[in-house]
């Protein structure tokens, strides 16, 4: 009896994973709003009713997909930042190398995280909070590493750790989007090497650039929201 139950459970798990595989491709190509449960059904041998047997609605499917994605994208990145015994420079370098590895091995999962963070921003849904929560964890992890580097004298202290961490995330996401926009005509390895060099040049404690935010028509605290 136990063997029969285990086979049944294994079959259900295979069905669930097949549904999530199809949904992941659909969310990547059409976004959350553009994807339909009917489309997921059309990509699998399973009926719409079968999908609702495993998931209560489309958002439930997305949350399950993003939970899988988190184990591939977020958890390794956080692990690189919090590695025991690693100094701030080593931790940041491990993080950048980990991000490059994910971009090379699982570009779809990384890209979907970026695109959904934009699409779901401001919707105040469970999935939006889940995706943004991952970014918050990354931001806090990067901020903590950068702050340690500032305290130890490795990183510049004329700029706040929070803004530096935000810029690291922005540059990484932007590099990924630019590679997709140019249909991967940019060499990924060379792009990573350039990104890493730019980040380190901006973080390391050395000569500061002679620039003024006033000349750019921006004063501190006057950031505008994009319409």
Is residue 104 located within the same domain as residue 53?
no
Is residue 147 located within the same domain as residue 43?
no
Domain membership flag for residue 221:
no
Domain membership flag for residue 214:
no
Is residue 160 located within the same domain as residue 100?
yes
Contact 58, 36 (CB under 8 A): yes
Contacts of 100 (CB under 8 A, 6+ apart): 188, 192
Percentage, residues of the chain above pLDDT 90: 72
> CA–CA separation, 102 vs 220, rounded Å?
35
Question: Does the pLDDT of residue 63 top 90, yes or no?
Answer: yes
Mean local confidence (pLDDT), 112-125: 95
Is residue 53 located within the same domain as residue 97?
no
Is residue 28 located within the same domain as residue 118?
no
Give the residue with greater pLDDT, 117 vs 219: 117
**Whole-structure pTM value:** 0.83
Per DSSP, the chain holds a count of helices (H) and strands (E) of: 10, 0
Contact 91, 83 (CB under 8 A): yes
> CA–CA separation, 115 vs 134, rounded Å?
14
Mean local confidence (pLDDT), 85-114: 93
Mean local confidence (pLDDT), 183-195: 81
Report the pLDDT value the prediction gives residue 47, as an integer from 0 to 100.
96
Q: What are the beta bridge partners of residue 155?
A: 204
Is residue 137 located within the same domain as residue 26?
no
Mean local confidence (pLDDT), 91-117: 93
Question: Does the pLDDT of residue 185 top 90, yes or no?
Answer: no
Report the pLDDT value the prediction gives residue 7, as an integer from 0 to 100.
85
Our count of domains for the chain comes to 2
The pLDDT tens digits of the residues spanning 14-61 come to 999 999 999 999 999 999 999 999 999 999 999 999 999 999 999 999
Domain membership flag for residue 220:
no
Is residue 178 located within the same domain as residue 77?
yes
Percentage, residues of the chain above pLDDT 70: 88
Can you say whether the dihedral through the CA atoms of 154, 160, 162, 167 is positive or negative? Answer: negative
CATH code (residue 43)? 1.10.10.60
Report the pLDDT value the prediction gives residue 179, as an integer from 0 to 100.
83
Report the pLDDT value the prediction gives residue 202, as an integer from 0 to 100.
92
Task: Look up the domain containing 80 and give its range.
Answer: 73-206
Contact 108, 24 (CB under 8 A): yes
Question: Does the pLDDT of residue 214 top 90, yes or no?
Answer: no
Mean local confidence (pLDDT), 162-181: 92
Is residue 23 located within the same domain as residue 78?
no
How many CB atoms within 10 Å of residue 114?
A: 19
Report the pLDDT value the prediction gives residue 187, as an integer from 0 to 100.
79
Domain membership flag for residue 68:
no
CATH code (residue 187)? 1.10.357.10
Domain membership flag for residue 168:
yes
Is residue 47 located within the same domain as residue 86?
no
Is residue 80 located within the same domain as residue 191?
yes
* Secondary structure (3-state) at 98: helix
Mean local confidence (pLDDT), 117-127: 95
Q: What are the beta bridge partners of residue 204?
A: 155
Strand ranges for the chain from DSSP E: none
Domain membership flag for residue 212:
no
> CA–CA separation, 10 vs 210, rounded Å?
63
pLDDT band at residue 135 under the 50/70/90 scheme: very high
> CA–CA separation, 14 vs 17, rounded Å?
5
Is residue 33 located within the same domain as residue 99?
no
Is residue 26 located within the same domain as residue 110?
no
Domain membership flag for residue 171:
yes
How many CB atoms within 10 Å of residue 113?
A: 22
Q: Give the HSE-up count for residue 123: Cα atoms under 13 Å, Cβ half-sphere.
A: 17
């Amino acid at each position: 009896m136990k063997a029969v139950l285990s086979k049944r459970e294994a079959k259900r798990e295979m069905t669930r994973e097949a549904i999530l595989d199809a949904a992941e491709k659909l969310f990547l190509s059409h976004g959350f709003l553009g994807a339909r449960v009917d489309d997921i059904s059309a990509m699998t041998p399973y009926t719409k009713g079968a999908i609702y047997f495993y998931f209560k609605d489309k958002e439930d499917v997305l949350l399950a997909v993003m939970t899988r994605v988190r184990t591939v994208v977020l958890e390794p990145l956080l692990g690189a930042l919090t590695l025991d015994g690693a100094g701030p420079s080593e931790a940041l370098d491990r993080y950048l190398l980990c991000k490059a590895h994910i971009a090379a091995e699982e570009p779809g999962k990384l890209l979907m995280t970026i695109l959904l963070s934009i699409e779901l921003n401001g919707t105040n849904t469970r999935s939006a909070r889940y995706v943004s929560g991952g970014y918050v964890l990354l931001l806090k992890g990067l901020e903590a590493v950068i702050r340690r580097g500032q305290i130890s004298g490795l990183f510049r202290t004329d700029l706040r750790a929070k803004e530096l961490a935000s810029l690291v995330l922005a540059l990484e996401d932007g590099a990924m989007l630019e590679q997709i926009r140019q249909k991967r005509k940019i060499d990924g390895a060379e792009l990573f090497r350039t990104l890493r060099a730019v980040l380190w040049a901006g973080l390391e404690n050395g000569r500061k650039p002679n620039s003024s935010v006033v000349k750019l028509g921006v004063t501190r605290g006057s950031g505008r929201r994009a319409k």
